[in-house]
Amino acid sequence: MTILSKIRSHSRPFAKDDKGLAVVEFALILPIFALLIVATWEATNAIAVKRKASLSAAIIADLATQGNSFSAEDWNRVSDIFDKAMFPYTQYTKRANLIGLRVDARERVTVVCSFGTQMLDENSLPEGLIIANSFYMMAATEVDYTVLYSGRSLYGDARGFTDMTFRDNAIFTPRISSAINCS
């Protein structure tokens, strides 16, 4: 009798008995489902934070262009709105910047005013918007997204999601006048 035939003869009673099969299948599938749930949770949060960062840039530029002037006091109020717009993701590091850009008759772009963390300059304006005698308010937001688990696993470096920085810009023109007075 060979080893293979001995294994077959001893395993015949188990071939017809499937009492523990569901438990074994569950034990094999559970880690895969747990990983899928955590990955879906993380991806959903990352998408939501990215979307809120983009929306915040548009909110900042929109609020800055609704009047004739914009001051440091207005910037403080807008910064508070940025924090509130990021709810419930307020634990992440956030930065915002707002600049007023004037394009003169010779199509030279100059920064008229700047508020917040310096992320934008006169070179940030796209070439297609460099139109003689125009004025723009340009906002930028950055949010540093930290994943639930980032680091080393038992098998080396973690793969998949890593910490990310979401950035977005929004450019608006003044609504009431041809330019915004910054102070």
The whole-angstrom separation of Cα 113 and Cα 109 is 12
Amino acid at 134: S
Per-residue confidence (pLDDT) for residue 69, from 0 to 100: 93
Structure tokens at 181: 């007075």
- How many residues can be counted in the chain? 183
For 30-83, the DSSP string reads: HHHHHHHHHHHHHHHHHHHHHHHHHHHHHHHHHHHTSSSEE-HHHHHHHHHHHH
Per-residue confidence (pLDDT) for residue 15, from 0 to 100: 65
- C-beta separation of 69 from 183 below 8 A: yes
Count other Cβ atoms within 10 Å, centred on residue 70.
24
Per-residue confidence (pLDDT) for residue 154, from 0 to 100: 45
For residue 106, the 8-state DSSP code is T
pLDDT along the chain (183 residues), means of 10: 77 69 86 88 91 95 94 93 90 93 94 91 91 95 83 51 86 93 87
Per-residue confidence (pLDDT) for residue 160, from 0 to 100: 54
Count other Cβ atoms within 10 Å, centred on residue 50.
16
Per-residue confidence (pLDDT) for residue 138, from 0 to 100: 96
